[in-house]
Each structure stands twice: as C-alpha cells, then as structure tokens.
Amino acid sequence: MNTLISIEGVSRRFGDVTALDSVSLDIRQGEFFALLGPSGCGKTTLLRILAGFEEPDAGSVRLDGADLLAVPAHRRPVNLMFQSYALFPHMSVEKNVAYGLEREKLPRQEIRRRVSEVLETVGLAAHARRRPHQLSGGQRQRVALARAIVKRPRLLLLDEPLSALDKKVRAEMQLELKRLQHDVGITFVVVTHDQEEAMSLADRIAVMQGGRVEQIDAPVALYDRPRTPFVADFIGANNLFAGTVSGGGLEVSGLGVLPAPTAGLPEGAQALLAVRPERVRLGQGTLTGTVVDVSFYGGVSHVALSVPGHGGHVLVATQGPARVETGTEIELGWDAADGVVIAADDAAVENGAPV
Amino acid sequence: MTPSPAGRRAAARVATLGPGFAFLTVFLLVPLALVLSYTVFRRGRFGGIVYEPTGENFARLADPLYLDVVLGSVRLAAVTTLLALLLGYPTAYMIARLPGRWKAIALVAVVLPFWTNFLIRTYAWIVLLNSQGPVNSGLEALGLGPVELLYTDGAIVAGLLYAYLPLMILPLYSAIERLDPQLREASANLGARPARTFWSVTLPLSLPGVLTGCVFVFVPSLGNFVIPELLGGGRRIMVGNLIRDQFLKARDWPFGSVLALAVIAVLVLLLFAQAWAGRRAGRNG
Ligand SMILES: Nc1ncnc2c1ncn2[C@@H]1O[C@H](COP(=O)(O)OP(=O)(O)O)[C@@H](O)[C@H]1O
Ligand SMILES: [Mg+2]
C-alpha cells in the first residue's frame, strides 16, 4: 500500500511540557490507523498538527509527498471529527453537514443529494431539521461523523470518537465505524486511550507515551511481541520480570533463573521478561506460589498467586473453571518460547531470535 | 399555633425580598404610575395638574415640532449605537482573544473612564473640539481648517459614543469570550476562510451580546440631555432635553409625561425585541 501521510521527527512543546517528542510515523492509503496511549500523551496535539490548528516546533508532515505544513487549515484535504463534536449550535443537522460542501461551491443540487445520502448512511435522515441540542449524545456524534465524511477527505481524523458513549452504544458504533471505513474507503486515523477499541478497529496501531511513539504494529503483533516495557505493560495483562540474561534464561533476584527466550542476547544483559497470563501453566514449573484469588468469567478463570520474592501477584488465565482453591500452594511455570524478552536498550527479542 | 413549613418559607421570602420590593414600589412604581396618570389631565397654569381629563397631550405628540425632536433623537441614538457596534466589536473580539492576563488589563482600560466624573469627561470634549482646540489647530496646520466641530450633531454623537462605548464592549466581550474556539476550528476544517468563519459562525453566535450591547448604548443615548446641551450647544434638542424642559421650564407636566411615556414605550419595545431574539439565540446554545 502507498504511504499517504508521512510524519517525520515532529516535536511540539507547550512551555516546559513536551507534548510531542520527535514523532515519526507513516500512514498508508486506505488503512484504519489508531493512535493509542494514556491521556496526555500527545494524541490530540498530533491530530491538531495534521488538521493545521497547531504547528510543530520541528519536523515535517507530507501528504502524497508534498509538504502539508505549508497548506492553511481550510485548504487541507483532511477532516477532523472533534472530541467534543464542535457542531454549530445555530444550524440544523443538515446545515451542519452541508457547511463543508457549501465552502467547495458545489451546485445546490449536488449538495442536497450528498447531504441526504450521508444522513441516510449514519441513520439520521429523520432528524435533518433538528438542532444539535435536540439530539442525544450518540446522534450528535453521528452528525459530527457525517459532517466530516461528506467532504470525502483524503484523511479522516477522529479524536476519541466514542468516548462519550456508553458501553453498549460504543460497541455498536465501533462496528459501524469499521463498516463505514470499508464502504467509503477513506483513510481513518482514530485517537483513543481505550486499547480494546484500538485493537478491534485498527489495521495498525501506534502506541504513544509521553509524546513519543513506542511501537507501531498490527494489533496481533502488538499483543504478541511488545517491543518496549511500556507496551508490554499497557497492552493487555502481562506478568513482568526484570533481570539479567544468564544461562539460557533470565535471572531475577529472589526468583532464580526463569525460562526466557534469551538467545542472541549477551550473558549479563539487563532485560525484561513478559509472560501473558494465558501462557502460564499451573501444576508444574520453576516457581512456587500461593493462590490468593480465583475468579471465574464463564469461558476463562483468572488466578492470582503470590510468589515469594516477586513484588506483585502472578496472574494466570486458564480455560474453563480453575481447579485450584484459595490458599493452596502450587507450582507454576511456562515454556521459554512463550515469554517475550525486551532488552533494556528497548530492542525486543522474541522467540529466541533477534529482530 | 406553629407556622407550617410553607408558611415559614413564605415569611423568609418576604423578609429577604421585601425591602427590595418596598424600595422599588416607593421609588419606581409609584412615581411611574403618577407620571402615567398625568398624561390624561390638563396642565396647571404654574405647573402641576388640573384634574380634568383630556386627550390633547397625546395629540400634541403628533405636532411635527415634537415629532421631529423624537425622531431626531432616535436617529442620533441609533447612529451612536451603530458606531459603537462597529468600533466595539473588533475591540471586544481582540480582547477576547488576548492571553489571560492581558485580557484583565484591557478590560480595566475599557472601564477606566467610568471612574472619572461624567461632566469633566464631557467638558474635555469641548476643549478638544472648540475652534481654537487641538483638533482644529491640527487641521489648520494641514491647511484644512478651521472646521466647525463643536455644537454639531457630530459632536453630540462623539460625546455619546465616548460615554457609552464601554457598555457595548463589555457584553460583546462576554459573548465572544464564551464561544467555543473549536467551533472556529471546525469551520476552518470544513474549508471556510477566516472571513467566512466570522460571518457564519462567530457573528451569529455572538448575536445575543450584540443585542444587549445595542440596548445598553441606545437607551441611555436616547435619554441623555447633558451631552446635547454641552456639545450640541442647545442647537439640537433631544427628547431628554425636551422632557426636562417641560417639567422644569415650561411647567407642562402632562406633556412632559407624554414624552416620557413615549421614550419608555420605545425602550420596552426594544427590551422585548432583545429578550425575544436572545431567547431564540439562547435555544441554539
Ligand atoms: N494548547 C496547549 N497549551 C498548553 N499545553 C498543552 C496544550 N495542548 C496540549 N497541551 C499539553 O500537551 C500534552 C499532550 O496533550 P494532548 O495532545 O491533548 O494529549 P492527549 O490527547 O493524548 O490526551 C498534555 O500534557 C497537555 O496538557
Ligand atoms: Mg485528547
């Protein structure tokens, strides 16, 4: 796929807050891209730079190879769906949606046709004459979406589009967004702090933290092969052990040598081992722990164990009901190949092979 | 018998609101009712009222002499209001977009003239505008003067404008300041140039402030009689002057009351229009 947007070394500071710290990433034509990270990590700032409301202190942004930063906001083929929707309160739904097309000086006939089409698509045809304040949160959100996509931009930016909705509506809207993106074929960049949302929606995800991009990967790769300690901790549940490479495993103080895919790393190197709860087996292994909590979630059970010498609890996920009881002492362990080792220099080593 | 809770609440309400109501009743409603009642009686020979019903006070209002004064005053007040809006809007807009600390400083600068005496400020204009004043000296130096500036309608408008401009700027400022800056960004994002954003988004959404500012400037401009006298030199009579003269000089209380009633009617009409438009705009928010 072709690169649509190419962001290189973009930095932005506000006083002594570094909102973006040398961010580089490429967004491909037609993909559903997610910016994922905790609140305050710079996601909105990056979107605002793409939309032209904010200028980077350093770095470049290119669209189809041409400098995008030189183009004023109102001429960019980029539309933004605001986190707060920013609907014009003094205009009806259809006027809001038509606003962008009127700026293109399109024939009235065509404007009317495209507005009613897009309102049909988002299921608001019956509400065309209403004002924003007469709509529910979910309906407003769809007006904001319709207003942005009706312009058929090269790039659609969505800032936490679903955060104001309750859980059930959110799940529905996620499906709708995905279907819509497929239908209209516009490149989507969605900002979210909800990893499940990013995982279920996006083709690729950039995980951000403190103004930096930690890792860019497809959801499955992000889950299976985190490359930084932050990603290992942020995406899904993980058991993390810090130690040094030693004798084909990772030596963790207080726990001994744990099974880990350390081939390719020099003896004595500092590294972090991440093991997913579903990879930990109960009943046999290198560690011994005491069961402190068992919870059953229908399909899976979560078991928390306290292991002497380890700070937090070790989490284990098993299929079906767990056959252990709180208070019992039990062995646990995993295959070396099931762990992911993240070297202290942040380069990941997975399944024993250097990347 | 102990009073019921509702009774006690009512008593508390009377205790808190009572003094205010009493004050308004004695010093506003009663005089207003008196003035209104004067309109239908004959004038006394040396002022006061003769209680014989008559309609001729209202008939005199249609006299071109007085009608001209009323319409002329409305025109001057309207011109003043329009100029205040044209000058005040950009000022309010700039202040609303200043960084936080500068906003406060600019707002203080706007209300600063209110802290000096109204008459002194108006006399300053006489000094400025008279035939030997600095403005005319400047014009003369440029070979353009002297021009008669003082004792013209222009001088009255300048004085009214100077006196009431802050009353335009403040409500405009608060209306513009309240606007969500993201609405402007959304407009740009949808392809609107800055000028289009102003006409289609900023201005319509600040309309309640525009209306409030216009009423705040128009109302005192219409009723003012000091500025027309000092800066208009008595050549231009405004309704305010006329009303005062009817009561204090001509001693024609009934006709003075009719004129006062006419002004009040215009103002009430304006306030209704403003409330109506404000509610319409408010429903948008
Ligand atoms: N206009 C601004 N002025 C000052 N600080 C800002 C501004 N915009 C963003 N920031 C700061 O930059 C950081 C990143 O903000 P933002 O991009 O909004 O994060 P996110 O959208 O990921 O929550 C935050 O610490 C925020 O406080
Ligand atoms: Mg944000």
pLDDT in tens, B107-121: 999 988 888 888 888
Residue carrying the six token digits 């309609």? B55
Question: Residue A59 carries which side chain, given as an amino acid letter?
Answer: G
Token pair of B275, please?
Answer: 């409330």
Q: How far is A316 from chain B (nearest CA, A)?
A: 46
CB contact under 8 A, A151 and B200: no
Residue carrying the six token digits 């990967």? A217
Q: Give the Cβ contact number of residue B204 at 10 Å.
A: 16
**How confident is the prediction for chain A on average, in pLDDT?**
91
CB contact under 8 A, B188 and A147: no
Q: A167 CB near a chain B CB, below 8 Å?
A: no
Q: Tell which wins on pLDDT, A166 or A353.
A: A166
Q: How confident is the model at residue A354 (pLDDT cuts 50, 70, 90)?
A: very low
Asked whether residue B17 carries a pLDDT value surpassing 50, the answer given is: yes
- By CA distance, what is A97's nearest residue in B? B190
Residues of A in contact with B194 (CB under 8 A): 74
Token pair of A355, please?
Answer: 């990347």
Ligand 1, atom 13, residue with closest C-alpha = A19
Asked whether residue B278 carries a pLDDT value surpassing 80, the answer given is: no
Contact in structure between A135 and A88 (CB atoms under 8 Å): no
| Mean pLDDT calculated for residue range A52-56 | 96
Residue B181 lies in a domain: yes
Contact in structure between A274 and A239 (CB atoms under 8 Å): yes
Residue B6 lies in a domain: no
Residue carrying the six token digits 């289009």? B196
Please state, in angstroms and rounded to a whole number, the distance separating the CA atoms of residues B35 and B263.
Answer: 13
Query: Hey, which of A156-170, A247-261, B137-151 has the most confident mean pLDDT?
Result: A247-261
Asked whether residue B280 carries a pLDDT value surpassing 50, the answer given is: yes
DSSP-assigned letter for residue B113: G
Q: How confident is the model at residue B2 (pLDDT cuts 50, 70, 90)?
A: low
Residues of A in contact with B180 (CB under 8 A): 84, 86
Asked whether residue A32 carries a pLDDT value surpassing 80, the answer given is: yes
| Mean pLDDT calculated for residue range B90-96 | 95
- By CA distance, what is A149's nearest residue in B? B190
**How confident is the prediction for chain B on average, in pLDDT?**
88
Ligand closest to A42 (CA) is 1
Q: B205 CB near a chain A CB, below 8 Å?
A: yes
Question: What spacing in Å lies between the alpha carbon of A58 and ligand 2's midpoint?
Answer: 21
Phi and psi angles of residue A288, each rounded to the nearest 5 degrees, phi first: -125, 130
Report the range of poorest mean pLDDT among A67-76, A92-101, B146-155: B146-155
Domain limits at B181? 63-284
Q: Which of A74, A84, A131 shows the shortest C-beta gap to B182?
A: A84
Beta-carbon contacts of residue A219 (< 8 Å; ≥ 6 apart): A198, A199, A200, A202, A205
Q: A130 CB near a chain B CB, below 8 Å?
A: no
pLDDT cut 70: percent of chain A above it: 97
pLDDT of residue A144: 94
pLDDT of residue A166: 77
- By CA distance, what is A157's nearest residue in B? B189
Asked whether residue B103 carries a pLDDT value surpassing 50, the answer given is: yes
Total domains in chain B come to 1
Indicate whether this model's pTM tops 0.80.
yes
Q: B210 CB near a chain A CB, below 8 Å?
A: no
Residue B245 belongs to a domain with what CATH number? 1.10.3720.10
Please state, in angstroms and rounded to a whole number, the distance separating the CA atoms of residues A320 and A302.
Answer: 10
Q: Tell which wins on pLDDT, B67 or B195.
A: B195
3-state SS string for B218-269: HHHHHHCCHHHHHHCCCCCCCHHHHHHHHHHCCCCHHHHHHHHHHHHHHHHH
Q: Is the CB of A39 under 6 A from ligand 1?
A: yes
pLDDT of residue B282: 60
Report the range of poorest mean pLDDT among A132-141, B127-136, B184-193: B127-136
pLDDT of residue A279: 94
pLDDT of residue B130: 84
Asked whether residue B250 carries a pLDDT value surpassing 70, the answer given is: yes
Q: Which of A79, A87, A131 shows the shortest C-beta gap to B189?
A: A79
Residue B38 lies in a domain: no
pLDDT of residue A54: 95
Asked whether residue A143 carries a pLDDT value surpassing 90, the answer given is: yes
Beta-carbon contacts of residue A144 (< 8 Å; ≥ 6 apart): A81, A82, A85, A86, A87, A161
Residue B234 lies in a domain: yes
Q: Is the CB of A192 under 6 A from ligand 1?
A: no
CB contact under 8 A, B182 and A100: no
Q: How far is B21 from chain A (nearest CA, A)?
A: 37
| pLDDT single digits (tens) A158-209 | 999 887 777 777 888 888 888 888 888 899 999 999 998 899 899 999 999 9
pLDDT of residue B119: 85
Q: A277 CB near a chain B CB, below 8 Å?
A: no
Residue B245 lies in a domain: yes
| pLDDT single digits (tens) B21-66 | 888 888 888 988 988 889 989 888 877 888 888 888 888 888 898 8
Q: How confident is the model at residue B128 (pLDDT cuts 50, 70, 90)?
A: confident
Q: Tell which wins on pLDDT, A263 or B101.
A: B101
Ligand 1, atom 25, residue with closest C-alpha = A40
| Mean pLDDT calculated for residue range A261-277 | 91
Asked whether residue A120 carries a pLDDT value surpassing 70, the answer given is: yes
Q: How confident is the model at residue B3 (pLDDT cuts 50, 70, 90)?
A: low
Token pair of B191, please?
Answer: 């392809």
Residue B208 lies in a domain: yes
Question: What spacing in Å lies between the alpha carbon of A45 and ligand 1's midpoint?
Answer: 6
pLDDT of residue A288: 92
Q: B100 CB near a chain A CB, below 8 Å?
A: no
| Mean pLDDT calculated for residue range A234-257 | 91
Residues of B in contact with A74 (CB under 8 A): 188-194
**H or E element at residue B192:** none
CB contact under 8 A, A100 and B190: yes
Ligand closest to A19 (CA) is 1
Q: Tell which wins on pLDDT, A5 or B126.
A: A5
CB contact under 8 A, B191 and A51: no
Asked whether residue A247 carries a pLDDT value surpassing 90, the answer given is: no
SS3 of residue A99 by DSSP: helix
Query: Hey, which of A317-321, A347-351, B231-235 has the most confident mean pLDDT?
Result: A317-321
Query: Hey, which of A198-202, B63-67, B79-83, B252-256 has the most confident mean pLDDT?
Result: B79-83
Residues of A in contact with B204 (CB under 8 A): 90
Residue B119 lies in a domain: yes
Q: How confident is the model at residue A96 (pLDDT cuts 50, 70, 90)?
A: very high
Residue B90 lies in a domain: yes
For chains A and B, CB pairs below 8 A equal: 66
